[in-house]
């Protein structure tokens, strides 16, 4: 039994230690180092047998408005896009549950299908739509609604739209799962007792679906807060988010200790939502 | 009457939602056949950009890298993830189980940039040269978390008496596992492998952190082209990818349907 136990555990345990635990500890270690012009581009943690930890990177993060702005942008855009995903997701998921039973798997497949197409292509599609000479502006200009092209790319609007679009399927699925598990009799009872369908939806259906809605919100918020491709392609210098800042510090400025400190900060910020999500959704099976 | 009004709201929600999801993708496909160099002006039907694409060795090489990395990473991810799922469902409680499960799922829950920086630091401090292998290992770590969730869900729903019955009838533990559990798990294993493969094919962030000079994958290649601006070649390559994935997904769902129909 113990041999079998070890046999099952050995590979996943070693793998997780090597490719998850050690790398995360390395980030933590390097975040206390200082940048230097050498290979590797950071100072060792122990110098001449003494601990040489420095909190410079962390104090820099808190002092420089650049990083705080990136943090604010991340929370703002990810938050707005999460709200959009939840509202649209709730409407679509609800519509799917109301469709004839035989149609529901087909509709869900249609919703997930775009997720299987490359994420990059879907973001790219929006550049072609949103840019000044893009299709949306071309259509609006030729129909005479506007006489100057609207600035849609390189704005917060572009970033929120792009993130909402890319992550929408992830929001629909958990909401659908929690709506589909509800008995339709509950809303029927509310309607029999004099409620309007819309009131019954808000007062009965939505509160009961709260775990699914919360899971959907976290499922989209966490990756969006660290997003770097979408703000890079659809946003401009005004919409720099944490993920992009981390990237720039790491590759352009080659300040690995500062980038590591940023990664630690982002992880700490997302730790509570991430653990909540694990418990709600992913941990379901492991309990 | 109320019912009718509600259903028209639902129809509108579905139509708008699906339109929102599909319209951008459809436009990319349509404009990949555009004869004009301008992305927003229709200049007639042409396969010109596909020709440009297929005569560009850089894209073909990147596509080959993506397929190699994807297949190897998905296979490793399926192995690691499935063993993890078996450990969590079959071994009962063992010390550190929750922490271990949390860490194994961490790549799925944390933003990709963090896993990207973290694994890059690992390879740098071990002095491993960055290339196809480092991308593959990182993708396998990422994919294993997703495989774990899929396989575990299947294992939890499985009747443990099946394997016990096989043991009662004289099968050894390994034989019972291979002849009873593995076939029952097969749909989950295939789904997990396909998901890990697709995630690897799609990934820009992890790959751009851990790849080396000679190991550009297709998304990384497309990403650097997209940053320079919209071009009709990208439309063509996107359309090919969309077609490939659609065939894949349709085949997978047909296969899945057949196994369900066969069982009943």
Q: Is B207 helix (H, G, I), strand (E, B) or coil?
A: helix
Distance from C-alpha of A205 to C-alpha of A94, rounded to nearest angstrom: 10
Considering only residues A59 and B142, tell me which one the structure prediction assigns the higher pLDDT.
B142
CA distance A211 to A174: 9
> Which chain A residues are within 8 Å of B28, Cβ to Cβ?
121, 124-125, 128
Token pair listed for A126: 């929006």
Q: What confidence score (pLDDT) does residue B255 get?
A: 66
Q: Judged by CB atoms within 8 Å, which residues 154-173 of A form the interface with B? A: 165, 168-169
Q: How many CB pairs under 8 A join A and B?
A: 237
Q: How many CA atoms lie within 13 Å of A176's alpha carbon, on the beta-carbon side?
A: 22
Axis crossing angle, helix A104-116 with helix B2-31, rounded to the nearest 10: 30
- Is residue A282 over pLDDT 60? no
- A249 lies within 8 A of chain B by CB: no
Q: How many CB atoms lie within 10 A of CB A37?
A: 6
pLDDT of residue A224: 94
Alpha carbons A124 and A278: distance in angstroms, whole number: 31
Task: Report domain extents, chain B.
Answer: 47-262
**Residue B63 in contact with partner chain A when CB distance is under 8 A:** no
- Average pLDDT in chain A: 86
The confidence band for A124, taking pLDDT boundaries of 50, 70 and 90, is confident
Residue A250's nearest CA partner among B116, B240, B133, B248 is: B116
Q: What is the pLDDT of residue A25?
A: 94
Higher pLDDT: A174 or A138? It is A174
Is A20–B79 a contact, with Cβ atoms under 8 angstroms apart? no
Range among A150-159, A177-186, B113-122 with highest mean pLDDT value: B113-122
Highest average pLDDT, of A20-29, A128-137, B46-55, B237-246, comes from: A20-29
- Average pLDDT of span A232-245: 89
Is the Cβ pair A95, B40 closer than 8 Å? no
Residue A39 — very low, low, confident or very high, per pLDDT cuts 50/70/90?
Answer: low
Whether B257 shows a pLDDT value over 70: the answer reads no
For Cα atoms A248, B198, B61, give the angle at the middle one, nearest 5 degrees.
70
pLDDT band, very low/low/confident/very high, at A166 (cuts 50, 70, 90): very high
B110 to A121: CB separation less than 8 angstroms, yes or no: no
The pTM of this model reads: 0.88
Instruction: Quote the CA–CA distance of B148 and B84 in Å, as a whole number.
Output: 6
Average pLDDT over residues B66-81: 96
Chain B residues with CB-CB distance to A284 below 8 A: 153
Return the number of other C-beta atoms located less than 10 Å from residue B240's C-beta: 17
Residue located via tokens 């609006």: A140
Angle at A194 between CA A192 and CA A197, to 5 degrees: 80
Which is nearest to B124 in space by CA: A55, A248, A250? A250
The answer to which of A272-281, B8-17, B144-153, B199-208 has the lowest mean pLDDT is: A272-281
Ramachandran class of A254: left when φ > 0, alpha when ψ lies in -120 to 50, beta otherwise: left
Q: Does residue A285 register a pLDDT over 90?
A: no
Among the partner-chain residues A88, A109, A285, the one whose CB lies closest to the CB of B156 is A285
Token code pair at residue B165: 């019955």
Would you say residue B252 has pLDDT above 80?
A: no
Comparing B21 with B160, the larger pLDDT belongs to: B21
State whether residue B255 sits within 8 Å of chain A by CB: no
Characterize B249-259 residue by residue with b for buried, 16 or more Cβ atoms within 10 angstroms of its Cβ, and e for exposed.
Answer: beeeeeeeeee
Q: Which of B84, B117, B201 sits opposite A260 (nearest CB)?
A: B117
Residue B3 has pLDDT above 50, yes or no: no
- Closest by Cβ to B100, choosing from A13, A126, A133: A13
**B183 in contact with chain A, both atoms CB, cutoff 8 A:** no
Query: What is the per-residue pLDDT across B81-122, written as a single tens digit (0 to 9) for each?
Result: 999 999 988 887 788 888 898 899 999 888 999 999 999 999
Residue A256 predicted with pLDDT over 60: yes
Question: Pick from A107, A117, A226: which is nearest to B111 by CB?
Answer: A226
The alpha helices in B91-131, defined as continuous H runs, are 97-109, 112-125
Q: A46 has which bridge partners?
A: A51
CA distance A63 to A227: 23
Q: Does B232 touch chain A (CB under 8 A)?
A: no
Position A168 scores a pLDDT of: 94
Residue A254 has pLDDT above 70, yes or no: yes
Rg from Cα positions in chain B: 23
Pairwise CB contact (< 8 Å): A119 & B202 = yes
For B2, which residue in chain A has the nearest alpha carbon?
A: A197
C-alpha–C-alpha distance, residues A101 and A103, integer Å? 5
pLDDT of residue B256: 62
Residue A178 has pLDDT above 80, yes or no: yes
pLDDT bracket for residue A113 (50, 70, 90): confident
Tell me the percentage of chain A whose pLDDT exceeds 90: 35
Segment A234-246 shows an average pLDDT of 89
Buried b / exposed e over B26-46, threshold 16 CB at 10 Å, is: ebbbebbbbeeeebbeeeeee
- Structural contact between residues A95 and B11, judged by C-beta atoms closer than 8 angstroms: yes
What pLDDT is attached to residue A129?
Answer: 87
Q: If one looks up domain B47-262 in CATH, what number appears?
A: 1.10.3720.10
A1 min Cα distance to partner chain B (Å): 9
Pick from A30, A242, A270: which is nearest to B121 by CB?
A30
A230 in B contact zone (CB under 8 Å):
no
């Amino acid at each position: 039994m113990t041999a079998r136990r070890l046999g099952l555990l050995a590979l996943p345990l070693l793998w997780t230690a090597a490719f998850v635990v050690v790398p995360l500890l390395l980030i933590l270690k390097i975040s206390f180092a200082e940048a230097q012009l050498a290979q590797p581009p950071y100072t060792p943690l122990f110098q001449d047998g003494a601990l040489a930890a420095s909190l410079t990177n962390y104090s820099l993060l808190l002092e420089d408005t650049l990083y705080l702005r990136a943090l604010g942008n991340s929370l703002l855009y990810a938050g707005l896009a999460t709200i959009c995903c939840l509202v649209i997701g709730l409407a679509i998921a609800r519509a799917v549950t109301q469709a004839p039973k035989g149609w529901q798997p087909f509709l869900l497949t249609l919703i997930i299908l775009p997720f299987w197409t490359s994420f990059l292509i879907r973001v790219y599609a929006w550049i072609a739509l949103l840019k000044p000479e893009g299709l949306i502006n071309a259509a609006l200009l030729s129909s005479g609604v506007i006489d100057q092209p609207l600035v849609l790319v390189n704005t917060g609007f572009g970033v929120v739209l792009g993130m909402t679009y890319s992550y929408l399927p992830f929001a629909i699925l958990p909401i659908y799962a929690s709506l589909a598990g509800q008995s339709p009799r509950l809303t029927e009872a509310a309607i029999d007792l004099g409620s309007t369908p819309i009131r019954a939806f808000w007062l009965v259906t939505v509160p009961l679906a709260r775990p699914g809605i919360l899971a959907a919100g976290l499922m989209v918020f966490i990756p969006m807060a660290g997003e770097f491709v979408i703000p890079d392609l659809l946003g401009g210098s005004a919409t720099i988010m944490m993920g992009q800042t981390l990237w720039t510090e790491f590759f352009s400025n080659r300040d690995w200790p500062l980038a590591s400190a940023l990664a630690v900060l982002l992880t700490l910020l997302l730790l509570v939502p991430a653990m909540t999500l694990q418990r709600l959704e992913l941990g379901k099976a492991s309990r | 009457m109320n019912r009718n009004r509600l259903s028209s709201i639902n129809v509108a929600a579905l139509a708008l939602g699906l339109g929102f999801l599909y319209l951008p993708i459809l436009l990319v496909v349509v404009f990949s056949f555009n004869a004009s160099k301008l992305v927003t002006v229709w200049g007639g039907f042409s396969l010109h950009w596909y020709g440009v694409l297929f005569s560009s060795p850089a894209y073909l090489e990147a596509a080959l890298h993506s397929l190699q990395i994807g297949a190897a990473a998905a296979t490793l991810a399926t192995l690691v993830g499935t063993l993890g799922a078996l450990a969590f469902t079959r071994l009962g409680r063992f010390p550190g189980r929750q922490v271990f499960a949390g860490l194994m799922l961490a790549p799925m829950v944390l933003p990709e940039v963090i896993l990207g920086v973290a694994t890059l630091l690992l390879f740098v401090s071990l002095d491993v040269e960055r290339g196809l292998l480092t991308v593959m290992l990182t993708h396998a770590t990422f994919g294993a978390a997703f495989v774990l969730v899929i396989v575990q869900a299947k294992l939890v729903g499985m009747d443990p008496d099946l394997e016990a019955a096989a043991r009662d009838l004289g099968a050894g533990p390994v034989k019972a596992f291979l002849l009873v559990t593995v076939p029952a798990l097969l749909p989950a294993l295939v789904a997990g492998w396909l998901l890990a493969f697709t995630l690897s094919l799609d990934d820009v962030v992890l790959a751009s952190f851990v790849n080396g000079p000679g190991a550009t994958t297709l998304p990384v290649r497309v990403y650097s082209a997209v940053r320079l601006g919209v071009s009709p070649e990208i439309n063509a390559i996107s359309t090919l990818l969309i077609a490939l994935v659609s065939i894949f997904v349709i085949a997978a769902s047909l296969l899945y349907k057949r196994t369900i129909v066969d069982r009943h």
